[in-house]
Amino acid sequence: MSASAIAPSVHSLWTTAAPATEKFPTPHIEYAQLSPTLIVFGVAALGVLVEAFLPRKSRYTAQVGLAVVGLAAAFAAIVALAEKGYGTTKAHIAAMGAVAVDGPALFLQGTILLVALVAVFTFAERRLDPKAHGRHVDSFAAQGSAVPGGDQERAAVRAGFTTTEVFPLLMFAVGGMLIFPAANDLLTLFVALEVFSLPLYILCALARRNRLMSQESAVKYFLLGAFSSAFLLFGIALLYGYAGTVSYSGIASVIDGTAKTTPALASSTQNDALLLIGLAMVTVGLLFKVGAVPFHMWTPDVYQGAPTPVTGFMAAATKVAAFGALLRLLYVVLPGMRWDWRPVMWGVAIVTMVIGAVIAVTQTDVKRLLAYSSIAHAGFILAGVIAIDKSGVSSVLFYLAAYSFVTLGAFAVVTLVRDAGGEATHLSRWAGLGRRSPLVAAVFAVFLLAFAGIPLTSGFAGKFAVFKAAAQGGAMPLVIVGVISSAIAAFFYIRVIVLMFFSEPKADGPSVAVPSPLTSTAIAVGVAVTVVLGLAPQYFLDLADKAGVFVR
Amino acid sequence: METLIGLLVAAPLLGAAVLLIGGRRLDRSGHLLGTLLALVSFAFAVVLFADMLGKSADHRTLTSTLFTWVPVESFQAQVGFQLDQLSMTFVLLITGVGSLIHIYSIGYMEHDENRRKFFGFLNLFLAAMLLLVLADNYFLLYAGWEGVGLASYLLIGFWQHKPSAATAAKKAFLVNRVGDIGLSVAIMLMFTTFGSFTFADVLPAAAKAGSAQHATITGIGFMLLLAACGKSAQVPLQSWLGDAMEGPTPVSALIHAATMVTAGVYLITRSGAIFNAAPDAQVAVVTVGAVTLLFGAIVGCAKDDIKKALAGSTMSQIGYMIMAAGLGPIGYVFAIMHLVTHGFFKAGLFLGAGSVMHGMNDEVDMRRYGGLRKFMPITFVTFGLGYLAIIGFPGLSGFFSKDKIIEAAFAKGGTEGWILGGCAMLGAAITAFYMTRVMLMTFFGEKRWVPDAEGHEPHPHESPSVMTIPMIILAFGSVFAGGLFSLNSRFVHWLEPVTGYSEGDSPVSTGAVTAGTLVLLVVGVGIAWLMYGRRPVPAVAPRGSLLTRAARRDLLQDDFNHVVLVRGGEHLTRSLVYLDHSLVDGVVNGTAASVGGLSGRLRKLQNGYVRSYAVSMLGGTAVVVAATLLMRAV
């Protein structure tokens, strides 16, 4: 750029198309500020090497160790960055404008890393299934590429193979999720989306039991994900056409009219249709990921088919990452457009809350029930997003942190209730669980109460925060719909509690497997976070409040 | 010194936590730990007492604020303690008698497999009771108030395998809740009227309040009285105390005789400034006290169960205290003095009753005792001294404290003074009658022993020294405490700075009151001797007069509660249930059915085909895009 300024004006008369002296600038990367992401990707790459070079026997230990250490180190890096003030005073945009390092990014990345850390424990669980051919097995297929029920698969099971590739896949997904809410230009956003989506598609297909259903869910997720990516990409193209840049701040300044317009762009910046359609399509791409109605149809099928640890991770972490990205898009790029997108988002939020809650009423499978519950929760979070002020951001951040641990814990409990065919997810099989396994049922009841938003659980504190933010932002009707939906939702949560504690146990009912310390830890963390955030939310609300400002 | 106040509460609290959380591994040593911590608490109390005596009367109050418990804008509930002469009296009584009863329980509960739990509950009770009397505000007092209620519930139902014990515990809990509501309403009224609930703010403000606040202060007084009625088993909330005797006897001695049931007296005395400013509430207090002192005494006359007879007596004696507290500054000091002497002799009597039961295969029916004095000499002597103290035998504790209350009642003046004084003197006569009855039926006369349900012949024997030593110490208190307190009006001077004191203007001379009381005492003892000493006691209770039969049924209190409250409540709930079923449920079920129907229909959209899902996404996108464009157009 400096080159063109120095270039003699006479010369430019001759070559307007391409100033020959323009140099590609050396990218300037702030490695320290990007260290959390870099650590995760580094560990993921190491995991691939482990798969390639270590003998099968020692892979499991190596992978679990690597993943835990990597995630913990990345989290430590986040804490160190926040300590140095990158969340507040020193927030800025790193990597040549591609990645933001600011409060919301650090808060969400920290949440994702903790969720992933707990998810690794559930991934690594090997005590729940009975031993196959003398070996402990986990929730994942012996060999992902084998045809279900085929000879190859039988051979793999006999040989005691396990798919330890899930750990590097998980790490790649986590890496993408870390960038997603921090992405500060549309291309980085798109790349991050694909980086975390592709490993998830594969993970969904890897269930040890119900392999066909698992593969079906993966294909559905992949097809619809690709479809939504196409919308997102098309939207990006339109926005680029409108603003001539993919950078968030660049687009924002064009919308505000503060950017210097070049003659070449003058015609397109006048064209609001490009902006509006582009905005709508990018939003659609993100709404797909958060599972908002009417882009939610994949959720129940995929949540049900995927291996339960993957479902738990996906339900928790994807939501955090996608809402983070949506927040940044709406708050950084499009605040000038709020009169255009707010009514539409109102509609989406209302439909999402109501449909999620209403359809959940007639569900009979616990995983599908939780899927619809996650849709309703997406609606609640959207209500906070719409508030479009600082309290909106902090309430959404808090809600996401609270919700992700409840979800993770709830799905971890689902892995424990088993019968001969693996997990017993049909609700009728859960009748009387409270009589036979009071502790497990009580823990699940805690999670259900948190989902329902009963006071003294994190769910209440989170719901209160988003509804308060929405009401202050002038969205009172939204709050009313939200409360009504919560009431409908409370019905099916409480119904499960009633089923567990107040019906007679079935004679051939499922048994509750005794988990290893891994799953126990995951569930204990879930309960602890749920209770602590419910009893003493103020510290964390303050933290979210401090982290509630986007860098522009 | 201030830190010691916190430690006073902390020691038994620590004991309760360790014993209840520690579990079975502490079964062998738990009772020793619990007793040790009670003694530690008592040692702290003695140190504080010595320190307090060294100061001049006006500078004896110690305060200590630990932390803010509930900070909500102007609602600042502190965990703060205030140790003045009134609290000190209670602290010494609670920790002293409490420690003795801990020691006694080591022997009494020796064969109970849950002895560790029992000591954990006892420690919990001590901590809560100390919190109650040490709090420097009503909010923290309320925490202690509920804490002793919890401990009482747990200990009454300690043998919960017996349905009668479980029911009694529930009954005590429910009746106490009624009183507790009074206390919580009083605290709310205080906060809205005075903007605070610390003693230091509320009491001076109540004393200075103008006529505009008069009605509110009277209301607060009535609510505090309701609370006191619940905790101290006063009419009309007295019905739980008799059933509470289902708990182990040491519990009856400590909680349901010496300490917890006197919390109501403490509350009224502590809130003296409020009652002084609300004469209507004071009239209610003396009425409740006078009615209860006769009520309890009459019930005590008819009971054959030794513990229930003593429970009736407790009710009656607390009636005396409440009445004295209702008299205002002429009575506060004597209410507390009688409370302390009563703590000694009633605890001693209960421990004696426990000792008798210990030797008689847990038999409680006095008609199956008889002639026990030869078999249990120590129990007989200590129980006998307690007996002489409670009937007011000259020179013993009860004589000094009860006479003072009777004098104070006359000193109230006017018709009211005559009525109250008359009731108190009549009560003294009945007390002499029923206590002599207990004494004669238990220790004198023929043996009327029968084998227990499993056919074991009773072999009455003296209890081990771990039980008799506390009884002996309490007997000393029963004999000497009253005289010690009355010498040079020592107790009056001690408490006066806190409660205030005025002589009153008695129409009857002190000598006349004492003489009259002594005559009535002799009459009461004499009638009892005629009925139970000269004639053999029938092993099966005779039918008795209408009054006797009513008194056996606790003067029909349960029947009254059943007819008025239970039946009435049932009718109310039935009509509400009808409304709920026909109206509310109709609306609710209708809504639920329509949501369910909608859900079933919407569910069909989820058909499992990716193509449908994709169409829905495409349609959704089209709508979102169109809506976005439309928003700009309008």
Measured between alpha carbons, how far is A374 from A431 in angstroms, rounded to an integer?
23
Across the interface, do B621 and A231 touch by the CB < 8 Å criterion?
Answer: yes
Q: Does A279 touch chain B (CB under 8 A)?
A: yes
Measured between alpha carbons, how far is B626 from B14 in angstroms, rounded to an integer?
69
pLDDT score, position B156: 94
Q: Which chain B residues have a beta carbon less than 8 Å from that of A289?
A: none
Q: Nearest CB to A343: which of B600, B613, B631?
A: B631
Across the interface, do A340 and B625 touch by the CB < 8 Å criterion?
Answer: no
Across the interface, do A361 and B595 touch by the CB < 8 Å criterion?
Answer: yes
CA distance A213 to chain B (A): 11
- Rg of the Cα atoms in chain A: 24
Measured between alpha carbons, how far is B594 from B588 in angstroms, rounded to an integer?
10
Which of B598, B601, B625, B630 is the mutation pick for testing A, counting most A CBs within 10 A? B625
Residues of chain B with pLDDT below 70 are none
Average of pLDDT values for A451-472? Answer: 93
What element of type H or E holds A419?
Answer: strand A417-419
Confidence of residue A409 (pLDDT cuts 50, 70, 90): very high
Helices (H), A246-364: 248-256, 263-269, 272-290, 298-305, 308-313, 319-328, 338-360
pLDDT higher than 80, residue A12: no
Q: Which chain A residues have a beta carbon less than 8 Å from that of B603?
A: 359, 362-363
For residue A127, give the DSSP letter.
S
B527-532, long-range: CB within 8 Å, 24+ apart, which pairs?
B527/B433, B528/B432, B528/B433, B528/B434, B528/B436, B528/B437, B528/B440, B529/B436, B529/B440, B531/B437, B532/B436, B532/B437, B532/B440, B532/B441, B532/B445
The first and second tokens of residue B159, run together, are 């043998």
Q: Nearest CB to A355: which of B602, B631, B632?
A: B602
Confidence of residue A3 (pLDDT cuts 50, 70, 90): very low
Which of B598, B609, B624 is the mutation pick for testing A, counting most A CBs within 10 A? B624
> Which residue has tokens 């709020």?
A338
For residue B463, give the DSSP letter.
P
Q: Where does residue A537 fall: left (phi above 0), alpha (psi -120 to 50 degrees), or beta otherwise? A: alpha
Q: C-alpha dihedral over B378, B379, B380, B384, to 10 degrees?
A: 110
Q: Nearest CB to B613: which of A224, A231, A363?
A: A224
For residue B102, give the DSSP letter.
H
Q: Nearest CB to B624: which of A220, A280, A298?
A: A280
Q: Does A78 touch chain B (CB under 8 A)?
A: no
Q: Nearest CB to B628: which of A280, A355, A361?
A: A280
Across the interface, do A348 and B631 touch by the CB < 8 Å criterion?
Answer: no
Question: If contacts are CB pairs under 8 Å, which of residues 236-275 in chain A contact chain B?
Answer: 272-273
B403: CB partners within 8 A, 6+ apart: B392, B513, B514, B517
B399-429 as b/e, with b when 16 or more CB fall inside 10 Å?
bbbbbbbbbbbbbbeeeebeebbebbbbbbb
Q: Which chain A residues have a beta carbon less than 8 Å from that of B619?
A: 294
> Which residue has tokens 């994949």?
A298
CA distance A422 to chain B (A): 23
Residue A524 one-letter amino acid: A
Q: Which chain B residues have a beta carbon less than 8 Å from that of A293?
A: 620
Q: Which chain A residues have a beta carbon less than 8 Å from that of B595?
A: 358, 361, 488, 491
Measured between alpha carbons, how far is A395 from A345 in angstroms, rounded to an integer?
17
Nearest CA in chain B to A222: B610
Across the interface, do B617 and A294 touch by the CB < 8 Å criterion?
Answer: yes
pLDDT higher than 60, residue A497: yes
pLDDT score, position B337: 94
pLDDT higher than 60, residue A10: no
Q: Which chain A residues have a beta carbon less than 8 Å from that of B614?
A: 223-224, 227
Q: Within 13 Å of residue A319, how many CA atoms lie on the same side as its CB?
A: 35
Confidence of residue A269 (pLDDT cuts 50, 70, 90): low
pLDDT score, position B106: 92
What element of type H or E holds A512?
Answer: strand A511-512
Q: Does A80 touch chain B (CB under 8 A)?
A: no
Average of pLDDT values for A331-340? Answer: 85
**β-bridge partners, A247:** A185
Confidence of residue A139 (pLDDT cuts 50, 70, 90): confident
Q: What one-character-per-residue DSSP string does A147-185 give?
A: PTTSHHHHHHHHHT---TTHHHHHHHHHHHHHHGGGB-B
Across the interface, do B608 and A301 touch by the CB < 8 Å criterion?
Answer: yes
> Which residue has tokens 């409490």?
B98
- Does a cis peptide bond (omega within 30 degrees of 0) precede residue A307? no
Q: Which chain A residues have a beta carbon less than 8 Å from that of B623?
A: 294
CA distance B75 to chain A (A): 19
Across the interface, do B628 and A227 touch by the CB < 8 Å criterion?
Answer: no
Q: Does A538 touch chain B (CB under 8 A)?
A: no
- List residues of chain B with CB under 8 Å from any CB of chain A: 592, 595-596, 598-600, 602-603, 605-606, 608, 610, 612-614, 616-617, 619-621, 623-625, 627-629, 631-632
Nearest CA in chain A to B629: A276
CA distance to B12, B21, B113, B156, per residue, from B32 (Å): 13, 16, 15, 22
Question: If contacts are CB pairs under 8 Å, which of residues 173-212 in chain A contact chain B?
Answer: none
Measured between alpha carbons, how far is B585 from A358 in angstroms, rounded to an integer?
20
Contact between residue B332 and residue B269 where contact means Cβ atoms under 8 Å apart = yes
Q: Which chain B residues have a beta carbon less than 8 Å from that of A284?
A: 617, 620-621, 624
Residue B400 one-letter amino acid: F
pLDDT score, position A83: 92
Nearest CA in chain A to B603: A359
Q: Within 13 Å of residue B190, how many CA atoms lie on the same side as its CB?
A: 29
Which of B607, B610, B623, B632 is the mutation pick for testing A, counting most A CBs within 10 A? B610
Phi, psi torsion values for A265, nearest 5 degrees: -95, -15
Contact between residue B247 and residue B156 where contact means Cβ atoms under 8 Å apart = yes
Across the interface, do A224 and B617 touch by the CB < 8 Å criterion?
Answer: yes
Measured between alpha carbons, how far is A477 from B210 in angstroms, rounded to an integer?
49
What element of type H or E holds B67?
Answer: strand B62-72
Q: What is the pTM of this model?
A: 0.68
Confidence of residue A372 (pLDDT cuts 50, 70, 90): very high
pLDDT digits (tens, 9 = 90+) for B316-348: 999 999 999 999 999 999 999 999 999 999 999
Contact between residue A255 and residue A334 where contact means Cβ atoms under 8 Å apart = yes
Nearest CA in chain A to B602: A359
pLDDT score, position A21: 66
Residue A293 one-letter amino acid: V
A311 vs A22, which has greater pLDDT?
Answer: A311
Nearest CA in chain A to B605: A297
Residue closest to B425 by CA, chosen among B538, B492, B520: B520
Q: Which chain B residues have a beta carbon less than 8 Å from that of A352?
A: none
Q: What are the counts of helices (DSSP H) followed by strands (DSSP E) for chain A?
A: 24, 5
Across the interface, do A294 and B616 touch by the CB < 8 Å criterion?
Answer: yes
pLDDT score, position B584: 86
Q: Which chain B residues have a beta carbon less than 8 Å from that of A288?
A: 617
Q: What ipTM, to 2 d.p.?
A: 0.89
Q: Does A25 touch chain B (CB under 8 A)?
A: no
pLDDT digits (tens, 9 = 90+) for B72-108: 878 888 899 999 999 999 999 999 999 999 999 999 9
B180: CB partners within 8 A, 6+ apart: B145, B146, B149, B227, B230
Measured between alpha carbons, how far is A220 from A211 in angstroms, rounded to an integer?
14
Across the interface, do A358 and B599 touch by the CB < 8 Å criterion?
Answer: yes
Q: Which chain B residues have a beta carbon less than 8 Å from that of A292?
A: none
Confidence of residue A22 (pLDDT cuts 50, 70, 90): low
CA distance B188 to chain A (A): 24
Which of B607, B615, B617 is the mutation pick for testing A, counting most A CBs within 10 A? B617
Across the interface, do B631 and A231 touch by the CB < 8 Å criterion?
Answer: no
